[in-house]
Chains A and B, each alone.
Chain A
């Protein structure tokens, strides 16, 4: 069984593939239907950020097993322009694209852990974790 899946993100169809792979992985681990949907939605947001702002990148899905509980870690990575002002990007309603600015702050609300590594010109990595609820 694959505990790690890498999805290259180049087109909007890849965004759909990434979230479907996560759904398959999560459903195998026993995630609830609601949590699968929250995770799939979060992945859709971060994967779309890749196609919108960086052009291409990848989404890495990994099974986590820690202290007897399982979860899924998502690493969405690109080598795009990076984010100038992370604090601003994390505010509801802020966008430099043509969205509503709900992407990153909204995504954070959908998962258990959220972290962002970025610098101007140095690309962006978003790490998400969703745990199975006991």
Chain B
């Protein structure tokens, strides 16, 4: 099942609705990369609230999205990692240190807006 990606101003919001197969994850990676270029997006939110498992493949792929979009000038924030999932990721040994995360969609948007404002201030000053 494809993950719907919504455009909201300068940001993209990818809202995962159900368990993802590896194929779905790879497709999400491709779709996000295409849309970042098409809409000249400055930030991406990937909402994983609905995921009950984030194994090494999913974690690695989401990290890949964050790294790839950064190379295209857009920051990615992963939001909604469930407490049990966070626990399992740590046990598994997944390192998410170089990826922005936020509690939920609202916090994620606030973070991206702040990043964008920061840039504008620096550029204008």
Q: Which residues of A contact B (CB under 8 A)?
A: 11-13, 15-16, 19-20, 23, 33-34, 36-38, 40-41, 44-45, 48, 92, 99-100, 102-103, 105-107, 109-110
Contact = CB atoms under 8 A, between A and B. Distances in A.
B52 interface: yes
B93 A38 contact: no
Interface in B24-58: 52-57
A12 B54 CA distance: 14
Nearest to B90: A109
B92 A41 contact: yes
B88 interface: yes
Nearest to A36: B84
Given A12-B21, A13-B21, A41-B92, A100 B60 contact: yes
Contact of B92 (A13, A33, A106): A106
17 contacts: A11-B21, A12-B23, A16-B21, A37-B53, A37-B88, A38-B84, A38-B87, A41-B88, A92-B93, A100-B56, A100-B60, A102-B56, A102-B94, A106-B92, A109-B91, A109-B92, A109-B93
